[in-house]
Structure 1
Amino acid sequence: MRYVKLPKENTYEFLERLKEWGKLYAPVKVSEKFYDFREVDDVRKVEFNYNRTIMPPKKFFFLPREKLFEFNISEAEYRETIENVEPFVVFGVHACDIFGLKILDTIYLDELPDKYYKVRREKGIIVGISCVPDEYCFCNLRETDFADDGFDLFLHELPDGWLVRVGTPTGHRIVDKNLELFEEVTPQDVCSFREFENKRHQMFRYHEDWADLRYLLELETEHPMWDEQSDICLACGNCNTTCPTCRCFDVQDVPNIDGNTGVRVRRWDSCQLVRHGMVAGGHNFRPTKKSRFMNRYMCKNAYIEQLGLSYCVGCGRCSYFCPAGINFVRNLRVILGLEEATCPPRVSEEIPKKGFAYTPSVRGDEL
């Protein structure tokens, strides 16, 4: 792997140069407490020290809503509408979100590649950036806190700049075209990199073994935690929307007013919604909120043989953005026997209903 150094004073110029490779998206502050990936005009608005965005970067590759084709019933024909996707750059992607994209790759780029996802993966450039965990992060337990691949460039913070790992031929071309912005890595830079990584590792809240978690989830289906926490759950699907690896979608035909033509669209779906389990004949194979709640925990902790990982990358979004205050990690630790089951107050009793933007567990001024 190739290593170069980006001095701090060249950071914004580097971001400007990235625009030459496509439309630039990066984390920006969208409210007092929240961040999200947005198109960037002014590179000085880019946030480097954020914990998590509202939406994961999967939204650039697996669109929340996408037109698949147009159809004409009387002529019995359809026309595919794959967009002419232009190159784009997603800057500031954390290691856990890079793993999230790698997990989606195992689903949408397998032996039957999804053409809509594939074209965006081919056009997208990923520039990762280092981060420090807060109390919601547990990517170290998921082994997704350090990415070996899945990026074109990855920036690690140094006291006076960034140590840059080059991961792909595209990454090499970006560096080679902008050599005047970079320097050679010095022994002091290596020492600083080592110190940063060691310190970051110690900052994680949990350091324990979760190897047998997926088995205990199957064995503890009668644990009282399931009733307590599913009763609190609003079944809003917010955890699915913010998850980097949730990949369920629904397909709908939307007719035009003439009743003859229309479009077929697919859009994100949520296993927490009651209609998700509906099948032909009016049967619902997950009719209760508890069954849907349990399904998500089973799904996120299932084993991916190709990567040797679970479907959860430990980003903490589902807990951080849950309007009911449900803590995903706490519930898993209860199943592991590492924490006592506790039941937060009911939403209707003590937690103000302020929609999806309200998170009773946010860190307030720390953001």
Structure 2
Amino acid sequence: MRYVKLPKENTYEFLERLKDWGTLYAPVKISEKFYDFREIENVRDVEFHYNRTIMPPKKFFFLPREKMFEFNLSKVEYKEAIEDVEPFVVFGVHACDIFGLKIMDTIYLDELPDKYYKVRREKGIIIGISCVPDEYCFCNLRETDFADDGFDLFFHELPDGWLVRVATPTGHRIVDKNLLLFEEVTSQDVCNFRDFENKKQQMFRYHEDWADLRYLLELETEHPMWDEQSELCLGCGNCNTTCPTCRCFDVQDIPNIDGVTGARVRRWDSCQLVRHGMVTGGHNFRPTKKSRFMNRYMCKNSYVEKLGLSYCVGCGRCSYFCPAEISFVRNLRTILGLEESSCPPRISEEIPKRGFAHGSSVGGGEQ
């Protein structure tokens, strides 16, 4: 991998030049507490130090609402909207969100690629940026706190600038075209980079092993946490909307007033909404709020075989933006036996609190 240094005084000039590569999007502060990726006109509006955006960067590739094509019934023809995609640059993507996009790739760029997603991935440039965790972050437990690939450039903060990792041919071209803005990396820069990463690791709230979590979730379906926490859930779908890896969508044909023309549209869907599990005939595969609540936990903690990761990247959005203040991490730690709960012990207290001390026994029956 190629490494270069961008001095701090050249940062805004570099951002301005990124606009030559497409529409520039980056994190901006939109309220006292919240940030979001927005189109950048003034590069001095870019926020380099933020914990999380409201919407993950997947919104640029898997649109919240997307016109797939327009149709004309009388002419028996349709016109795809995919031709309108223009090049763009997403600057300031955290490592966990880069992993989120890699997970989305395993779904939408597999053996049957989604052409709407694919063209945006091909047109989009990803530039990552380093970050430090807050109390909601647990990407270290998900092994998504440092990205090896999935970006064109990655910016690591130094006291006097940025150590930049160049990962793709596009990244090389961007650096080469702006070579006068960059410098060689010094030994002091390497020391500063290492110090930053070491301090970052110490700042995480949790340092524990979650390797068996997905199995415990399957074994602990009778744990009282499910009833307690699903009762608090509003079923609003905020957790799905803000998640970097939720990928469910609904498709609708929307006719125009003439009854002949119209458009096919797909939009994000949420497994927390009652209609999500509804099928023709009125049957609902997840008729209760508890069943939908459990489904999300099972889904997010299931295994992405191609990447060796879970579908949760530890960004903390679902907890941070939950109007009911439900903590995803606390609930998972309860299942792991690392948080106090109202669950009565079912086997000997001599067994450490890390195993099956709460909830169902190994056999799954009542003791």
Distance in 1 between residues matched to 2:51 and 2:109, nearest whole Å: 29
Which residue of the partner structure matches residue 307 of structure 2?
307
Which residue of the partner structure matches residue 210 of structure 1?
210
Matched residue of 1:70: which SS?
Answer: strand
RMSD of equivalent CA atoms: 1.0
Distance in 1 between residues matched to 2:260 and 2:19, nearest whole Å: 43
Deviations 1:296-328 (A, max 9, x none): 000000001100000000000000000000000
Which residue of the partner structure matches residue 195 of structure 1?
195
Distance in 1 between residues matched to 2:342 and 2:18, nearest whole Å: 48
Q: Which amino acid aligns with 1:74?
A: S
Contact 1:331/1:341 (<8 A) preserved: no
Give 1:31 shift: 0.4
For residues 142-161 of structure 1, what are the structure 2 equivalents within 5 Å? 142-161=142-161
Contact 1:253/1:262 (<8 A) preserved: yes
Q: Which amino acid aligns with 1:37?
A: F
Which residue of the partner structure matches residue 360 of structure 1?
none
Distance in 2 between residues matched to 1:122 and 1:161, nearest whole Å: 29
Contact 2:125/2:152 (<8 A) preserved: yes
Distance in 1 between residues matched to 2:78 and 2:41, nearest whole Å: 38
Distance in 2 between residues matched to 1:176 and 1:54, nearest whole Å: 33
Q: Which amino acid aligns with 1:11?
A: T
For residues 17-28 of structure 1, what are the structure 2 equivalents within 5 Å? 17-28=17-28
Distance in 2 between residues matched to 1:93 and 1:68, nearest whole Å: 27
Distance in 1 between residues matched to 2:342 and 2:32, nearest whole Å: 30
Which residue of the partner structure matches residue 169 of structure 1?
169
Q: Which amino acid aligns with 1:169?
A: P
Distance in 1 between residues matched to 2:157 and 2:216, nearest whole Å: 38
Contact 2:67/2:266 (<8 A) preserved: yes
Contact 2:269/2:276 (<8 A) preserved: yes
Distance in 2 between residues matched to 1:83 and 1:274, nearest whole Å: 35
Matched residue of 1:53: which SS?
Answer: coil
Deviations 1:189-209 (A, max 9, x none): 000000000000000000000
Deviations 1:63-122 (A, max 9, x none): 000111122233433332214211100000000000000000000000111000000000
Distance in 2 between residues matched to 1:13 and 1:81, nearest whole Å: 34
Which residue of the partner structure matches residue 102 of structure 2?
102
TM normalised by structure 2 equals 0.92
Distance in 1 between residues matched to 2:72 and 2:116, nearest whole Å: 21
Which residue of the partner structure matches residue 348 of structure 2?
none
Distance in 2 between residues matched to 1:153 and 1:211, nearest whole Å: 31
Higher alpha-carbon Rg: 2
Give 1:262 shift: 1.2
Q: Which amino acid aligns with 2:179?
A: L
Which residue of the partner structure matches residue 257 of structure 1?
257
Contact 2:224/2:342 (<8 A) preserved: no
Distance in 2 between residues matched to 1:87 and 1:80, nearest whole Å: 18
Which residue of the partner structure matches residue 341 of structure 1?
341
Distance in 2 between residues matched to 1:143 and 1:226, nearest whole Å: 26
Distance in 1 between residues matched to 2:234 and 2:184, nearest whole Å: 53
Give 1:342 shift: 7.0
Stretches of structure 2 lacking an aligned partner (at least 5 in a row):
344-367
Deviations 1:136-176 (A, max 9, x none): 00000000000000000000000111000001000000000
Contact 1:62/1:117 (<8 A) preserved: yes
Matched residue of 1:208: which SS?
Answer: coil
Give 1:255 shift: 1.0
TM normalised by structure 1 equals 0.92
Distance in 2 between residues matched to 1:91 and 1:129, nearest whole Å: 8
Q: Which amino acid aligns with 2:126?
A: I
Runs of 4+ in 1 over 6 A off after TM superposition: none
Distance in 1 between residues matched to 2:205 and 2:277, nearest whole Å: 36
